[in-house]
Structure 1
Amino acid sequence: MSEKRQSIDMEEFAQKFANVYYVKLLFEKEVEIPYEELYKKLQDAFGEVDKVATSDLSSFALKAHTVDYQDVSGIPSQLMIAEMIPFDQSTIPDMVLHQCWTSENPQGLLNKCCYEIMVSDFLASGLERMERCQIIAKYIDVLLDVFPTCIALYWPHSQKLMPVEAYKNSQWYNPDFHFLDGGLNVRFFNVQDSEDMVVDTTGLFPLGIPDLQVHFHGIDHNFMIQYIYNFVSYLFVNGDIIKDGETMDGRNEHERWVCQHEDCLIAPSRVVLDVCPNEFAAGKRER
């Protein structure tokens, strides 16, 4: 497998992460948005909340979660919700369905989705990463309470389609990581005509930290998937603190695997922290 592995300019990378984070709630049938009920539940969840607008795009300002900018400080971050519109199933890439591990029948789930409500944050990119992600996760929890007929969620930034139950039943031991139930996708690929495999992530890059990638052979892929999940939790808490050439534990604390920021091997285009698993490494690496 021919690869171009180059170290990435992290200052340039840091300028590209998402300023607005959005999620799509998917429905089988049309529903009305109960704005007043949503407003009251947001107050219960976030404290003092102001209504900024109620039209085709409604917004709620979170007075307890403010952002300082160069010319002004204390700007409340906001949560937005758009009106329901028909959902175009063709906007979901085939890769999303191929890497959907939370549904036994991803295509069947998608076929049921006829309408969407897009929700997002706004003026929130200046918040601390964990704070911002916990706000988004809590917002989705509130929305699923308000919209009991929602059947699926689509997270465009992580390219993850999932049934609602998969989000509600968090797989993370730490409630602070609940965002990752939807905001992270761990993918697995077999490389054609070889014994090589790739495990990578999507969803971290929009948060301003690199996604993860390991290209390997000769080791159980289930171990590598769990390894990546554990690595994600470390990056999520600590941020992009691993420098090119530094190492992380491999299969145990005595085995060291070298890390390097690189262009990804598999779309979408993004920066990844590539992990080189020593004798299990696949592909051509120029360290």
Structure 2
Amino acid sequence: MHGSALKAPAIDRPEDHLSGLDFQRLARLVEGEAGIKLPPAKRLMVEGRLRKRLRALGFDGFGDYCALLSSQDGLARELIHLIDAVTTNKTDFFREPEHFDFLIDTMVPSVLARRAERQPLVKLWSAASSNGAEAFTIAMVLAELAAKRNDFRFAILGTDISTAVLAQAQRAIYPAEMITPVPVDLQARFLMQSRRPGARREVRMVPELRRLVSFSRLNLMDETYPYDRDVDIVFLRNVLIYFEKQDQAAVVRRLVGHLRPGGYLVLGHSESMIGTSVAVRQVAPAVFQKL
């Protein structure tokens, strides 16, 4: 083969991969700290997501990274980045849209019927808020309803364990293609278009909407949550599926403890309340009211 050179095959080094034992240790750590299950089938996914982190730390392989996690000091510094890397943050605007119809038609009117004060503040909590798409969907539909009714105010809290997605939520900037599910009239009212020429088209929530939504980091596995106990509506959709049954029950119990009597808990359609012993009644698919 005159004039050309054969390229030596890349050597696949053991340190380029997570050993079975290291993956088990890491999976136990993540489940213990964040409640997230990482079955063996997720090993390649975890490897892929952690490679960027290894490069950022200047590590040669997964052995060095696992050694860092095995020291108390290293774990304290790195845990938040590990959880950011392995959490699945799948969310969309107007996901499971019937929940937002039920919010406007039933939940908010029911909450307001129980309140005697003028212009009561309705408190909503997006408890696995990811990049803020759910919280801002709630904000858009409630801003429309509040303008029509003119008899209530509202505030929304979004919490998540991942600092990376919370940073995006706080910026409230999204790729333009992400807002396709948002009705055109709401896009016109609540979204500002990026004017940067040549850049990827982005949108940002208008300031008056951003003022009504705040974001904070929360690990749902914590024994207590440092938030108000007079919340009217909690959205906890499509996160319990990643937890073991006993953790699901504990999280639901804690969140229901933050609801007013008559308040609502909204789960994902793929989730259920089976095995939870809390005083709620089902009022719609995946929607429960505190007794």
State the TM-score bracket (shorter-chain normalisation).
under 0.3
Of the two, which has the highest radius of gyration?
Answer: 2
Give the alignment's TM-score, normalised by structure 1.
Answer: 0.26
Q: 1 or 2, which has the higher helix percentage?
A: 2
Q: 1 or 2, which has the higher strand percentage?
A: 1
Give the alignment's TM-score, normalised by structure 2.
Answer: 0.26
